[in-house]
Structure 1
Amino acid sequence: MKSIKYIYSTLFLLVAGIVTVQAQDKKQDEKGVVTEEVEVVRPYKPILAEAVKLRRSPNLDDVKTYKAKFNYSITDRKLELNSDIQKLQAQALADEKASVLVNNYVKGAFGSQATLLGEAYFNTGKDEGLQLGGYFKHFSQEGKLNKQNSSSQQLSVFGRSILDENTVSGRINFERNGTYFYGIDDARPTFNTDPQKQALTFVELEGELVKNFTEDQDAFIYALKANGYLWGDKYDAKESYFTLNGYVNKRISSFNLGLAASTEFGNTKDALTSVGNNLLRLNPYIRLQVKGAKVTAGINFVQEFGAFSSTRIFPAVTADFTLIPDYLQVFGEVKGDVNRNSLKGFTDENPWLNNNILVKNTVEKLSFSAGIKGTGGPGFGYKAKLYIRQFDDMPLFVNNFTDFNKFDVIYDFGKTKLTGLEGEISVQVSDALKWTGKLNIDDWKPAQETYSWFKPGLKVSSNFVYTFNKKLTFNAGVVIQDDVKAKLYLSAPVNPLQYVVPNTSIEEIVTVKGYVDLGIGADYKINNKFSVFAKANNLLNKNYSRYLYYQVNGFNIFGGLSYSF
């Protein structure tokens, strides 16, 4: 049945195809188009040669695997389970070329008013374990007044040796100051036509033993120092002195327990006087030192023996608190002491001392001071202090009635009170510019005297250094002091008691005017060995007086050469 359907279908398609072809031929004939016959044999099928056949994906089966050869070994190392930050090892710097130290120099200069300067310094070298050295200086001038001459010589030899546990040092000092009693009263110029000469000599020996620094904060610390001197003038005055100081300290936790002790033996002789003046001091203390604070509390036990005998105990308390590290500290002190007076100390202040001076000690009953100090940044430092001090037997200089150009020492019997303010400042703008200044304002309240003679109420000092370049440096200094009062006797005191209790009926008060002393200097470095310098003093050329009747030298200038080696 299916074959009959298949036959009928094939015949139908064949007949339809023939009729369609004949119909197209008739249409072409009707249009006059060329008639052609197309015979279809089979469909077109392109065939490519075997050589140009390409696969759609490359065949990777023929790629060979490359295996590298390694040579290695296993290190036997312990695994450290340490999570702490390891310390970095600083890279060592290359050795620097050893610098050539200049340990010695000599200096010489001359100038106006017969100024003569000679100076020398010697040292063994850079070995800190053993050092020996010496220093010498001579300076002299001649003023315009009759015998207004002065000269001074200083000689010092010193040594130091650093041992395993201690440091030993010592020195020998010699000083000589020569001058004349050239003081002149302008109202009585004929009273001193032939000034007497004065020469003060001083020989000192000193030795010290100190425990070396150790990082052990609980170590036992100690120090021992001995000092003695001989002093004399051109006449009959002589003085000998010996002192021995000791110090021990032991730290326990945040506390320090210590003891400072000293003994002083002094003897002063003149033609009519002889005084033995000795002291013994004991200062036990306890100190608390923690971060930002240091407080020391103790007592000062002082025993006088010899010509004077007394026993006194004073407080000795100091405190220092850091409010802002490096910028602001607050400090305070409460103390008392017995200040030993001596002819050496008096002549260091006033070399025109009379003969047969009475020497006695001054008791500093109670002193209180408090202030602040710190820095305001790089190159800036400051300190300000307020103090209140009380003295018994305050020594004062007065002109002698007979020899008006010589000074006696009197003692203001009773309680002298001093209230003062002290300020210091240091400013370093750069490596080339530095300025320092100091101010003292004192208010003296004498016990029996009308004034505290020759004690200034205001004193200012300042210093300025400017480095222009590596070779040239300038410096300047100024000292300012206000008026002081001096006492003159209109008649000779009847007895020594009038030196203790003043008698205003035979006294005259004289004002010694204040002064401003300005000086400048310059140094020029020629090379590493030679340099030249110049200095000018009293630029305002004021013939002021520090002590009544004694004018200082006016304007003077000198210069010279220094050699370093």
Structure 2
Amino acid sequence: MNIKKILYTTALFVSAGTLSVQAQDKKATEKTTEDKTIAEEIEVVRPYKPVLAEAVKLRRSPDLNDVQTYKARFNYGLTNRRLELNSDINKLQAQQVAQERPDTLLNNFLKGGLGTSATTLAEAYINIGRDEGLQAGGFFRHFGQEGKLNGQKFNQQQLSVFGKSIMDEFTLSGRINYQRNGLYFYGQDPNGSFINENPEKQAFNFIEAEGEIASSYTPDEAALSYAAKINGYVWSDRFNAKENSVVLNGYLNKRISSFNLGLASSLEMGNTKDLNVNVNNHLLKVNPYIRLQTNGIKINAGINLVQEFGSFSELRIFPAVTADLTLIPEYLQLFGELKGDVNRNSLKQLTDDNPFLMNNIEIQNTVEKISFTGGIKGTGGPGFGYQAKIYHKELEQLPLFVNDFNNPSQFDVIYDFGTTKLLGIEGEISVQISNALKWTGRMNLENYKPASERESWFKPQLRLNSNLLYHVNDKLSFNAAVVLQDDTKAKLYTAQPASPYILPNPDTETVVNVKGFVDFGLGADYKINKKFSAFVKANNILNNQNGRFLYYQAIGFNAFGGLTYSF
């Protein structure tokens, strides 16, 4: 029995061992086969088991009976404030904008230039700087040119000092000017009717002083407004002509409700001397008025009382009425004026208009008997402004220029005795498309009906002025200007006229046409840096030789340039 059990047990272990060997062989075979195709590497990492050092281990449990709490100390500041039940939306407070840093102003500059036609230019301007209560400075300018004709030379010097003080109740201002004009009587006839080989030299000296006091602005509408000004000058030429003048002006205005009561007055005292001339020409003007200003309507009604005394003596009373009606605020406004006045003629005024005058000029006053003006003005939007008016004047003793019989290169002054009628139209437009482009234009159309003369000598019917300014960028800018004048008429004597001259004699006179002209100029400015800039300018680009007066040609095309230094 034991032997059978041993045999059975031995057979069972042998069978199990055989199966185990076969299985291992098979797996080895399969593994061998797989190794031929796939290479794998298996890395087994065991989990991390931290080991604490003996010193870190806590051997005791926490004390759960520690229940002590920490009490912080607080300090309270209670404000007794009323509770407001307001459901309205509170106004938002705008945040203050940080004050801009003021720009550094360059108050002074020096300018100089040279060019063709012997052109010389020198300018200087000096100012004390930014001050709300005091302004003072000075200005100097020299400009000279020379043409191709014999004696065709011009030069001008100007020096001015000014000041202004703004106080709480009034403002004081004043200035002193000196001006000198040098030239030659270079007129000559291209057709050879007379010879002017040695043109005479002429020079005008003018010294002027002016002072003014005016009330400062006040919000009190019932306050009294006032102003007073005094102006005086001394004038002389290179020969024997001398002139002086003192003018006093005063103004008072008092507002009562919608009305203004005012008084404007002036006293003009002048004396003109030459070899054969000594004229005391004085005027006293008084202009009381009442002004209504309400609801876009402004009417100023008064009289202009003028007393001539000295060499002339006569009292005249003229109307002085102006009206403004606003139809569309800022866009359309109608205006009109009806007035009369006496205009004092002087050698200073006449030589400013025509510097080629002879000696012993007769001085008379021009009476503006009646003058009417009406028109419209306003804006057409941002950057666009306009004005157009029509006017009619009746003038007594209108001064006119005529060539002297003995010396045609010099001019005499005659007066159109009687009433000259003038009808004119004037229009002006200003367009600013942007900060880079601005254009202005002005046109005058005038029609004269002389009293005793055949024509209003050297009075053009059409005058046109236009200016264009274009900024390419902050450094470069261009400018252009056009001046146009229509043909005029001149009178030449064929025989010696009567002296003193009163009425024209057609048998001893002839009419000559003086051609008009167009003067077109271009200029450019370039800012090199904050202190230096360069400029260039060209005049009479069309090279037009026609001048304003007979026998006097204009300087042809000329150009000059230079530098400006600001400090």
After TM superposition, the structure 1 = structure 2 runs for residues 171-182 of structure 1, keeping only pairs within 5 Å, are 171-182=175-186
- Whole-angstrom distance in 2 between the partners of 1:285 and 1:425: 32
Tell me what 1:244 maps to.
Answer: 248
Select the residue among 194, 199, 206 that pairs with 1:195.
199
Superposed CA offset, 1:313-339 (max 9, x none): 100000011101111000000000000
Question: What code does the residue aligned with 1:245 have?
Answer: N
Report the CA distance shift for 1:87/1:447 in structure 2 as closer, same or farther (over 3 A). Answer: farther
Is 1:209 the equivalent of 2:204? no
- Quote how far apart the aligned CAs of 1:226 are: 0.3
Q: 1:189 to 1:504 in 2, by over 3 A?
A: closer
Q: 1:284 to 1:557 in 2, by over 3 A?
A: same
Corresponding position: 1:353 with 2:357: yes
Which residue of 2 is the match for residue 145 of structure 1? 149
Structure 1 residue 120 corresponds to structure 2 residue 124: yes
The change in CA–CA distance for 1:79 and 1:119 in structure 2 (over 3 A counts) is: same
For residues 393-432 of structure 1, the aligned pairs below 5 Å read 393-432=397-436
Q: Distance in 2 between matches of 1:368 and 1:212?
A: 33
Q: Structure 2 vs 1, CA of residues 277 and 469 (structure 1 numbering), >3 Å: closer, same or farther?
A: same
Distance verdict in 2 for CA 1:80–1:199, change over 3 Å: farther
| Letter paired with 1:561 | L
Give the whole-Å Cα distance in 2 for the aligned partners of 1:318 and 1:127: 37
Match for residue 100 of structure 1 among 104, 110, 119: 104
- Partner amino acid for 1:162? I
Q: Distance in 1 between matches of 2:172 and 2:499?
A: 52
Change (3 A) 1:100 1:501: same
Query: Match for 1:110: what amino acid?
Result: L
Write the distance in 1 (CA, Å) between the matches of 2:116 and 2:328.
52
Give how far 1:523 is off.
Answer: 0.2
Supply the distance in 2 between the matched residues of 1:358 and 1:268 (Cα, whole angstroms).
10
Task: Give the Cα separation in 2 of the matches to 1:331 and 1:461.
Answer: 24
Deviation at 1:294, TM superposition (A): 0.7
Q: Output the CA distance in 2 between the equivalents of 1:79 and 1:507.
A: 101
Q: Please point out which of 370, 393, 396 is paired with 1:366.
A: 370
Distance (Å, rounded) in 2 between the aligned partners of 1:82 and 1:308: 81
Alignment partners' CA distance in 2, 1:131 and 1:254: 35
Q: Could you tell me how far apart the structure 1 residues matched to 2:87 and 2:257 are?
A: 33
Per-residue CA deviations over 1:22-74 (Å, capped at 9, x if unaligned) read xxxxxxxxxxxxxxxxxxxxxxxxxxxxxxxxxxxxxxxxxxxxxxxx99998
Please name the residue that 1:459 is paired with: 463
Distance 1:202 1:165 in 2: 34
Correspondence for 1:263: 267
Q: 3-state DSSP class of the match of 2:351?
A: helix
| Aligned pairs, number | 494
Evaluate the alpha carbon distance shift between residue 81 and residue 295 of structure 1 in structure 2; reply closer, same or farther with a 3 A threshold.
farther
Letter in 1 for 2:543: N
Alpha-carbon distance change, 85 to 445 in structure 1, aligned in 2, over 3 angstroms: farther
Which string of whole-angstrom CA distances, capped at 9 and with x for unpartnered residues, describes residues 357-409 of structure 1? 01010000000000000011111110000000010001000000001111111
2:521 corresponds to which of 494, 519, 535: 519
SS state at 1:177 partner: strand
Q: Check 1:84–1:135 CA distance in 2 against 1; reply closer, same or farther (3 A cut).
A: farther
Matched, 1:288 2:302: no
**2:475 counterpart (457, 471, 474):** 471
Pick from 333, 337, 348 the counterpart of residue 333 of structure 1: 337
Aligned to 2:231: 227
Instruction: Indicate the SS of the match to 2:507.
Output: helix
What letter corresponds to residue 383 of structure 1 in structure 2? Q
Q: How much does 1:130 deviate? A: 1.3
1:480 corresponds in structure 2 to 484
Distance 1:96 1:253, change over 3 A: same
Separation in structure 2 between the aligned mates of residue 145 and residue 308 of structure 1, nearest angstrom:
43
Question: How many Å separate the matches in 1 of 2:295 and 2:92?
Answer: 29
Q: What is the distance in 1 between the residues matched to 2:437 and 2:357?
A: 42
Quick one: distance in 2 between partners of 1:489 and 1:336? 34
For normalisation by structure 2, the TM-score amounts to: 0.85
Q: 1:297 aligns with which of 289, 297, 301?
A: 301
Q: Where does residue 559 of structure 2 map in the other structure?
A: 557
CA shift at 1:93, angstroms?
Answer: 1.4
Residue identity in the other structure for 1:254: S
In the other structure, the counterpart of 2:550 is 548
Describe the superposition over 1:429-476 as per-residue Cα deviations: whole angstroms up to 9, x where unpaired. 111111000000001000000000000000000000010111000000
TM-superposed deviation, 1:131: 1.6
**Percent sequence identity over aligned pairs:** 63
Q: Could you tell me how far apart the structure 2 residues matched to 1:224 and 1:198 are? A: 36
* 1:79 Cα offset (Å): 7.8
Structure 1 counterpart of 2:538, which letter? A
User: 1:418 & 1:156 partners in 2: Cα distance?
Assistant: 37
Report the Cα offset of residue 97 of structure 1.
1.4
2: CA distance, partners of 1:197 / 1:91: 69
- Structure 2 residue identity aligned to 1:97: R
Coordinate RMSD, CA, aligned? 1.8
1:91-134 deviation per Cα after TM superposition (whole angstroms, max 9, x unaligned): 22112212100100000000001000000100000012112100
Of stretches 436-445 and 183-192 in structure 1, the one that deviates more from structure 2 is: 183-192
Rounded to whole Å, the distance in 2 between the matches of 1:111 and 1:134 is 26
Partner of 2:53: none
1:562 and 1:118 map into 2 onto residues whose CA distance is 10
Paired residue secondary structure (2:182): strand
- The offset of 1:163, in angstroms, is 1.6
* Aligned counterpart, 1:162: 166
Deviation, structure 1 residue 495: 2.9
Q: Matched residue of 1:250: which SS?
A: strand
**TM-score, scaled relative to structure 1:** 0.85
Tell me the residue number matched to 2:15.
none
Aligned CA distance change for structure 1 residues 431 and 74 (closer, same or farther; 3 Å) = same
Match of 1:558, SS? strand
Tell me by how many angstroms 1:82 deviates: 9.8
Matches within 5 A, 1:38-57: none
Distance of 1:557 and 1:279 partners within structure 2? 45
**How many angstroms apart in 2 are the aligned matches of 1:78 and 1:487?**
95
